[in-house]
Structure 1
Amino acid sequence: MRSAEDWSRMGGVLITVLAVAAAAVLLVPRLLGVAAGPEAEIITALKSTERDGLSLTLPGVGEPLRSQKHHFARITVNVEPGGQRAVAWATLDFDGLLGRTVISSLGVERVPFVRRGGEWVPENLAAPRLAAVVRALESRRRALEAGDREALEALLAPGLESSTGGGEAELARVMELQRRRYRAETWLLRLERDDAMATEVWRLEGQLPSRPVDERGQRRFSLIRHEEEFLFSSSLM
């Protein structure tokens, strides 16, 4: 029969084994990532979002852009000299929501990464170009609903002459509505390296002196990258 001292010794050994196992669970993935190099660790970080989900905060927009499903593919990684920064290029197939707006996007994504606390993490967002395009579209929607011509003009790429890039008559018709509500029901996006195409399914509600208005339609826009933003390179209407 084992003595109390034997049982105590065995308990101590068991505690040590469990502690070593717990440390291995935490350290081995990190060590494997280091051994495989930054490229493998960055690819793993992007692919893990497919399981964990994406929630992208857009400056000036109250609600985040949330993925329902998404997939990164064709990922290539360029590590900058010094080994503390990198850029991942990938294709991103994304389906999600911004509030009640349904968003479906396919195209090129550029994701800057930095090394923090021994791990590679996105410098800001895991899909910054998608976020920039959606922010431009949502800013246009809000400006139309508020009747803010100055905000609309700020969304145009340099060189466009009018506040709408054309479409003044249609803008004037929208602006004359009282109790105006402009909703984007769907945005279908195609992102390239330096530009994007967007198709919007919209609904406009409001009141004219003679009648109520409730219209639906579809518009197509082109946007161009300007530094870290996307601006409209064609008519806003």
Structure 2
Amino acid sequence: MRSTEEWSRLGGLVIAGLAVLAACAVLIPRLLSFAAGPEAEIITALKHTEAYGFSLPIPLADAPLVSQELHFARITVTVEPGGQRAEAHATLDFNGTLGPTRVGTAGVEKVPFVRRGGDWVPEKNTSPRLVAVVSALEARRRALESADAQALARLTVPGNPGAGGAEWDELKMLRGRLYRAEAWYIRLEREQAVVTEHWRLQGSLPSRPVDTRGQRSLSLTLHGDEFLFSPGLM
């Protein structure tokens, strides 16, 4: 039979052992990451997103952009002089939703990373170009629903005439106007994005009710950190 003192000593050893294991669980990944370099840590961060997904806020939207399936491939990492900033270039396949809107994309993503607290983390999020395109699309959708020509003009490249034409004139006449995007399928390229939109417009004209669906192609061009529409909005 062990004495009380022996049991106490054994308990202390067990607690000390557990503390060592906990410390190793924290320190060993950091040491391995440091040994592997920033490239491996950044690639691991992107691959971690594949497993757990993301939910990212979109300006003006009532719901976040939520991933259901995503995959990063062909990842290359460039570390800036000083070792505190880096940029990951990758292809991105994404499927998800923005509220009731299905969102799918394939193409090029560029993710700035910064070093914080000893770790490499995305400067904004893991899909900034996708977020920028979806933000522009949602802003356009809301502007069309409210028939706000000034808001639409702010979303176009300089020199673009903005909203106009017979379709725009009819849209402005609608009462109880609802403009919904049922799906956006986005092809992300280096300096632009091409979008196929499946839309639904509801409302009423003085002569008849309106409930129409359609599909259109939209082009956006990268200007700084945002995407602007070119050449048309409708």
The structure 2 residue matched to 1:208, chosen from 205, 210, 218, is 205
State the SS of the aligned residue for 1:94. Answer: strand
1:165-224: per-residue Cα shift (whole Å, max 9, x none)? Answer: xx5221111111111000000101000011010000000000011110000000001110
State the SS of the aligned residue for 2:157. Answer: coil
Percent identity between the aligned chains? 62
Match of 1:163 in 2: 162
Q: Distance in 2 between matches of 1:125 and 1:57?
A: 10
How far residue 53 of structure 1 moved from its aligned partner, in angstroms, is: 1.0
Q: Which moved more, 1:135-144 or 1:59-68?
A: 59-68
Unaligned runs of 5+ residues in structure 1 are: none
| 1:75 counterpart letter in structure 2 | I
| 1:52-67 correspondence to structure 2 within 5 Å | 52-67=52-67
1:179 aligned to 2:176?
Answer: yes
1:124-157: per-residue Cα shift (whole Å, max 9, x none)? Answer: 1110000000111111110000010000011111
Match of 1:76 in 2: 76
Contact 2:33 2:40 in 1 (8 A): yes
Match of 2:16 in 1: 16
1:31-66: per-residue Cα shift (whole Å, max 9, x none)? Answer: 111110000000001110111111122233332100
Contact 2:62 2:99 in 1 (8 A): no
Match of 1:129 in 2: 129
How far residue 21 of structure 1 moved from its aligned partner, in angstroms, is: 0.4
Q: Distance in 1 between matches of 2:178 and 2:63?
A: 18
| 1:21 counterpart letter in structure 2 | L
Q: Distance in 1 between matches of 2:59 and 2:91?
A: 23
Give the TM-score of the pair, scaled to structure 1. 0.96
Q: Distance in 1 between matches of 2:45 and 2:88?
A: 11
Contact 2:60 2:138 in 1 (8 A): no
Q: Distance in 2 between matches of 1:40 and 1:66?
A: 26
| 1:50 counterpart letter in structure 2 | E
Cα RMSD, aligned residues only: 1.0
How far residue 118 of structure 1 moved from its aligned partner, in angstroms, is: 0.8
Match of 1:94 in 2: 94
Match of 2:185 in 1: 188
| 1:218 counterpart letter in structure 2 | Q
The structure 2 residue matched to 1:218, chosen from 198, 201, 215, is 215
Q: Distance in 1 between matches of 2:114 and 2:179?
A: 39
Match of 1:149 in 2: 149
Give the TM-score of the pair, scaled to structure 2. 0.98
State the SS of the aligned residue for 1:83. Answer: coil
Unaligned runs of 5+ residues in structure 2 are: none
Runs of 4+ in structure 1 deviating by more than 4 angstroms, as ranges, are none
Q: Which moved more, 1:194-203 or 1:1-10?
A: 1-10
Q: Distance in 2 between matches of 1:55 and 1:212?
A: 37
Contact 2:180 2:200 in 1 (8 A): yes
Match of 2:228 in 1: 231
| 1:6 counterpart letter in structure 2 | E
